[in-house]
Homo-oligomer: A and B are copies of this chain.
Amino acid sequence: MGPGPTMVEPRVYAAMGQPVVGHLDPYFFQVTEDVRKLLGVVFGAGSHFNMALSGTGSAGMEAAVANFTIPGEKMAVFANGFFCDRISEMGRRYGAEVVRCEKPWGEPFTDQEAAGFIQREKPKVVAFVHAETSTGALQPGKAICDAAHSIGALVIGDCVTSLGSMPVEVDATGIDVAYSCSQKGLSCPPGLAPITVSARALEALRARKKPPSAWYLDLKLLDDYFDGAHRYHHTAPISMFYGLREGLRIIAEEGLEKRWERHRRNHLALVAGLEALGLRMHVAEGKRLWVLNTPRVPEGIDDLKVRRRLIESHGIEILGGFGPLAGKVFRIGLMGASSTRENVLLFLEAFEAALRAEGYSPAASGRAAAERSYDA
């Protein structure tokens, strides 16, 4: 129950054990075509070009930065957490002039702040993190995308922690390039990076004069391989694609909106439980992720000791904060296959016991509050 990797659906493991075929086998391209279509649904990307890259979520981030920034051009980053810093670092490595709009970790930007910064800086590319695993905060994308498009800029959205468990809806929001990972909300093992690219971003990519230095993540070459001519590029990790297709099929069977609602309800019940215990959430109500919850560590309590008790006595892994939030928050994941009523109740009982053992006196029963939340 940390920020990922998450529990993997047993059907996904079974799919990964199917015999490997060649990377140019018509059967493999049937699998990648299924993945492409199913990704279109979870991304809410009707008209987009979708694929899964042969690397983890961070490879998705690098593909977005490498393919859509041009050396010397301005890239604006909304920075309020760890992964915003990572995008900035990649932007600098690829030669972009990175300008940052900064807020404390866990505080989303308002529509006015977002629009004001973009209009002032007039960047070519704007990057934001939709769901920050380091803080538990959601950054809505609509105002960013509207402002960016009004000056002809492209928008990159990091959806590593939101895809498959919270609404991403790139078409409706206007995100041009969104990437994610195969774990977390999709509940497959880590190893692939879904990515989706809008028609206008694709046009910018095709108009690019010099290819990016990144060859392995060059989207033009990858498009030629996965789609179109099926020209050999690399030997794709076949087993991981089998697994991802199965994971996406499970999402389609559950229904995307039902899945979001499951995540929302379990999040609300967990928060009710945490607040009953007397903990305060780090992120303001309405701005919280449903998949990664960050209650503040109570005064005088050592979060590491609580977490050690949780794993040693109850077999439950959660993580702590890091960077400016080190020692200040717990990070509790409820993602994909792990987001269940059973896990919420089990966790709250174990967490209460671990907190008590460290000398903390809960205000009320967390489990009872969560149960009331489910019944409401």
Which A residues have a C-beta under 8 Å from some C-beta of B? 2, 4-5, 7-8, 13-14, 16-17, 19-23, 25, 54-59, 62, 66, 86, 89-90, 93-95, 181, 183, 189-191, 211-217, 233-240, 243, 317
- B16/A239 in contact, CB under 8 A: yes
Q: In angstroms, how far is the closest chain B Cβ from the Cβ of A161?
A: 11
A89: chain B residues at CB < 8 Å are 215
Residues of B within 8 Å of A234, CB to CB, are 56-59
Q: Judging by beta carbons under 8 Å apart, are B190 and A237 in contact?
A: yes
Interface of A is mostly: loop
Are B55 and A216 in contact, CB atoms less than 8 angstroms apart? yes
CA distance A95 to B86 in the complex (A): 24
A11 vs B373: C-alpha distance when bound (angstroms): 46
Please measure, in the bound complex, the distance between the C-alpha atom of A234 and the C-alpha atom of B238, giving whole angstroms.
21
Cα of A319 to Cα of B360 in the assembled complex, Å: 67
Q: How far is the CA of A95 from the CA of B55 in the complex (A)?
A: 24
- Max chain B CB contacts within 10 Å: which of A13, A95, A212? A13
Counting chain B CB atoms within 10 Å of each CB, which of A22, A58, A216 scores highest?
Answer: A216
Chain B residues, Cβ within 8 Å of A217: 216
On chain B, the residues within 8 Å of A90 by CB distance are: 215
Residues in B whose Cβ lies below 8 Å from that of A212: 93
> In whole angstroms, what is the CA distance A57 to B237 when docked?
10
A55: chain B residues at CB < 8 Å are 54-55, 59, 216
Question: Are B214's CB and A213's CB within 8 A?
Answer: yes
Q: Report the separation of the CA atoms of residues A197 and B235 in the bound assembly, to the nearest whole angstrom.
A: 23
Question: Which one of B14, B62, B95, B189 contacts A237 once the chains associate, using CB atoms below 8 Å?
Answer: B189
B236-A190 in contact (CB<8A): yes
Q: Which residue of B lies closest to A24 (CB)?
A: B319
A240 to B, closest residue via Cβ: B191
Residues of B close to A17: CB separation below 8 A: 13-14, 16-17
Q: Are B189 and A20 in contact (CB under 8 A)?
A: yes
Q: Which B residues are CB-close (under 8 A) to A239? A: 8, 13, 16, 189, 191, 240, 243
Given contacts A54-B55, A55-B54, A181-B235, contact A62 B94 (CB under 8 A): no
| A54-B55, A215-B93 known; A235 vs B183 contact (CB < 8 Å) | yes
Q: Cβ of A13: which chain B residues have Cβ within 8 Å of it?
A: 16-17, 239
Q: What are 5 A-B pairs at a CB distance below 8 A?
A: A13-B16, A23-B190, A66-B213, A86-B215, A240-B240
Q: In the complex the two chains form, is B57's CB within 8 Å of A95's CB? A: no
Q: Which residues of B contact A4 (CB under 8 A)?
A: 235
Nearest Cβ in chain B — how far from A229, in angstroms? 13
Q: Which of B8, B233, B317 contacts A22 (CB 8 A)?
A: B317
CB distance from A135 to the nearest CB of B (A): 15
